A and B are shown apart, each in its own frame.
Chain A
Amino acid sequence: MMKRPCFRRGVRGQAGGPTHGIDDTPMSVARLRRRRSDAHPNGALAQICGIIGTWFVPLGTWSKHLGWVDAFAGLLRKGRGPSLRPDISQNRRTRSGAVVAESLTKRFGSVLAVDDLSFSLSPGTITGFLGPNGAGKTTTLRMLLGLAAPTGGRSFVLGRPYADLDLPALSVGAVLEATDFHPGRSGRDHLRALGRAVGIPDSRADEVLRTVELQAAGRRRVKGYSLGMRQRLGLAGALLGDPELLVLDEPANGLDPEGVRWLRDFLRAFASEGRTVLISSHVLAEVAQTVDQVLIINRGRLVVESPLQELTTRVGGTVRVRTPQPERLCEALGSADLDVTRADHTLIVRAAGTEMVGEIAFAAGIPLHELVAEGSSLEDIFLELTAEASP
C-alpha cells in the first residue's frame, strides 16, 4: 500500500460548501457554484414561455400549455422522480456523509437486484464497490444517481437525494458506462453539449480533454475511439463540473496497464484534495492499490463494509519459506498453531507474517534460505465472501 498524504482525510465540505483550497477550480465553475443558491426551481417554465415567445410568437399560447402539461404530469407522477417545485420537507431529508444508502432495495419482477443495502461513505475517501457481475452494483449506483427509483429505501448524495441537488453536475461527477456516447458526435461536442445544459463554458470542455489527455482526438467522432479513449472521455464528462464526488462504474474496464496506472494516479491526486471517490469493480486487484475501504456486495446484499487495511489484516497474508530442514520448521510452525503446507523444501504458511515465521525459525535455530510474503490473498477472500451466498 502506498502511504497517503495525511491531509487526504480533510473534509472538503458538503454540497455547496466552500471550494477554496482547490486550486484548479475554473473560475466559471466557481461562479456557477455561487449562483447555485439562486437557482429558481420554478423559473424553468417562465423561461420556456420567454424563449418561445421570442422565437415564435404564435406559439406563446402553446407554451402556456406546457405549464399545464407539467402540472398534470406532476399529478400523474405520484411523488416519483425529480420535482419542479421546491421541496418543503427538504430539511428533514438530509444526511451527513458523502454518499448514504438507507435500506436501498430494488426489485425487477421476481428478481431482488438490491436487497436492503445500507452504507455511508465519509468525505475524502476512496471506496471500492465490489462484487461479482450481476451483484447489483450498477443498479445501486443508478439509484444513488436518481436514474432508477428504488423499490424501497432512500439514498443521499452530498447530503441530499441526488435529484434534489441544485446543478448536481457541479458537485458530483459520474460515469455509468464507457459506451454512453453518440458514435457520430465528436468527443468535444459531447462535452460541450453536456456542459451547455448547466452553463459550463466550452473552454472547460477543452480543459478536461487535456486533463484526460484526449485533446488530440477531441474533434474526432467517437466511433473512432478505442475503449480506453472512451473510458477517458467518460471521465472527462464527469470532471466537467469540477466535482467533489466522483462515482465511476468499472472505470478500469478496457484500459491497458498504462491506462490503469494513469487512472490510479489520477484518482489518488483527486482524493488527496479531500474529494470523495466511489468506484465499482468486479476485480478486487484492480482497485486494491487505490481504495481506502471496500464495500463488497453479492446478490444485492452487503457482505463486507470495512477499511481495506482491516480486511487485509483479517485475511492475513501467505508466507513462502525455504529451508534445508523442512520437517523441523514444519513442527515449530505447527506448534505455533499455523496452517502449513509443505512441498519438498518449501513451506507455505497461511495467515501469517514474515516477521512471525522468521522469529519462530530463529527461536528454533532453523536456517532459512528464503522468506517471502506472497501477494495478499485478498482475491481469495473476495471470492470466498462473494461465493458464500451462491446456491
Chain B
Amino acid sequence: MIAQVNAELLKVRSTRTTLGLVLGMIGLTVLIVLLTGLLTHPDGLTTKDDQLSLFATGGVALIFSSLAGVLLITSEYRYATIRPTFLFTPRRSQVLSAKLVAGLLAGLVFGAAAVGLALGIGSLILSARGIRSSLDGGEIALLVGGGLAGIALRGAFGVGLGAIIRNQVGAVIGLLAWDFVVNGLLFGLAPLVGRFMPTTAADALMGLKTKHLLPPATGGVVLVGWTLTLALAGLALTKRRDVP
C-alpha cells in the first residue's frame, strides 16, 4: 500500500499539471493578500474579523487542492493510464485508497504553501503599516491547523468526485459549479442549508466568523462527512464499473 501511494505521488509530481496548479494558487494567494492588505483602509484591518479574513486568503487553496484531487484520477481515465494502473494492481480499492491518501498529502502541500504565504505576507503588511495584531495564538493555530486540514481533505474530496465523474471536463466543471455557484447561492439564499456545503464547512473549520457559519469542530465533521461520502461512492462505482 505504501508502494502504491509512492507510485501515485510520483504520478502527481511527474507532470507539469500539479506544478501549474501550485504556481497558479501561489500567484492568486499573493495577489489577494497584497490587494486586501495594501488597499484596505487601516480602519478596515483592525478587528479580529478583518484580520481573520485577510489571513484566510490561503483558503483559495481549497479549490486548487480539490482540482488536484480531481485531476489525480480523471487524467488516468482521460489518457487511459488507468488501464495499466489496474493491470498492475487489480485490487481497485487499493488503487483508489492510495489515490485518496495521495490527494490528502498533495492537499497538505498546497495548504502549507497557501496558508503559510497568506499568514506571512499578511503579518508583514500589518506590521509594516503599524497595525497591531488582534488575533490570539489559539485563533492563529485554528486558522493554520483548520486551513491545512480542510485543504488536505478537499484533495481527497476531489479524488472521490473524480472517481464518480470520470470525465475530466465534466468533473472539473462539476466541481467549479458546485463550489462557486451552488455553494455560493445556497449560503446566500438559505444559509442554514448552505453552511453544510463543503466550502462553507471548510471556512468554518478555519475559524472564520462569518455569520451563519458552523462552529469549527462541526465544520470539520461536515467536511470529513462529505469527503467520506464521495470516497465511498467513488470506491463502490470504481469497483462496479468496467474500465474503458
Q: Which residues of B contact A142 (CB under 8 A)?
A: 242-243
B171 within 8 A of A: no
In whole Å, how far is B104's beta carbon from the nearest beta carbon of chain A?
7
> Count of chain A residues with Cβ under 8 Å from any Cβ of B?
61
Known: A69-B232, A180-B79, A180-B80. A51 touches B2 (CB 8 A): yes
With A142-B242, A185-B14: A197-B4 Cβ-Cβ less than 8 Å = yes
| B30: interface (CB < 8 Å) | no
* Given A48-B101, A77-B240, also A69-B81 (CB < 8 A): no
Instruction: Check A373 for interface membership: any CB of B closer than 8 A.
Output: no
Q: Does A182 contact B (CB under 8 A)?
A: yes
**Which residues in B have their C-beta under 8 angstroms from that of A307?**
none
| B126 in the interface (beta carbon within 8 A) | no
A52 to B101, CA, bound (A): 8
Given contacts A48-B97, A196-B7, contact A181 B92 (CB under 8 A): no
Q: Is B242 within 8 A of A82, CB to CB?
A: no
Q: Considering the complex, which residues of chain B in the window 92-144 have a beta carbon less than 8 Å from any beta carbon of chain A?
A: 92-95, 97-98, 100-101, 104-105, 108
- Say which one of B62-70, B83-91, B203-211 lies at the interface with A: B83-91
Known: A51-B101, A180-B81, A196-B7. A169 touches B242 (CB 8 A): no
Contact assessment for B86 and A146 in the assembled complex, using a CB-CB cutoff below 8 Å: yes
Secondary structure of the B contact surface, majority rule: helix
Within the complex, the shortest CB–CB distance from B92 to chain A, in Å, comes to 6
A387 within 8 A of B: no
Q: In the complex, A275 Cα to B148 Cα: how many Å?
A: 51
With a cutoff of 8 Å between Cβ atoms, the chain B residues found around residue A51 in the complex are 1-2, 5, 101
Given that A177-B80, A177-B83, A184-B17 are known contacts, is A56 also in contact with B152, CB under 8 Å in the complex? yes
A22 at the interface (CB under 8 A from B): no
> Is A194 part of the contact surface with B, judged by Cβ < 8 Å?
yes
Q: Are B75 and A180 in contact (CB under 8 A)?
A: no
Known contacts being A182-B75, A197-B4, is A69 close to B235, with CB within 8 Å? Answer: yes
Q: Is A192 interfacial (CB-CB < 8 Å)?
A: yes
> A146 and B90: CB pair below 8 A?
yes
User: For the complex, what is the distance from the CA of A178 to the CA of B209, rounded to whole Å?
Assistant: 53
**Could you mark each residue 59-97 of chain A with 1 if its beta carbon is under 8 Å from any beta carbon of chain B, else 0?**
100100110011011001100111110000000000000
**Known contacts being A73-B239, A145-B87, is A48 close to B1, with CB within 8 Å?**
yes
Known: A59-B104, A69-B231. A181 touches B79 (CB 8 A): yes
Given contacts A182-B79, A196-B10, contact A56 B104 (CB under 8 A): yes
Asked if A44 is at the interface of the complex by the 8 Å CB criterion, the answer is: yes
Given contacts A168-B87, A193-B11, A199-B3, contact A73 B79 (CB under 8 A): no
- Please give, as numbers and ranges, the residues of chain B lying within 8 Å of A43 by CB-CB distance: 1
Known: A77-B240, A198-B3. A55 touches B105 (CB 8 A): yes
Interface residues of A (CB under 8 A from B): 43-45, 47-48, 50-52, 55-56, 58-59, 62, 65-66, 69-70, 72-73, 76-77, 80-84, 142, 145-149, 162-163, 165, 168-169, 172, 174, 176-177, 179-186, 189-190, 192-199, 237, 241
Complex A-B, nearest 3 residue pairs according to Cβ-Cβ distance, in ascending order: A47-B1, A197-B7, A189-B14
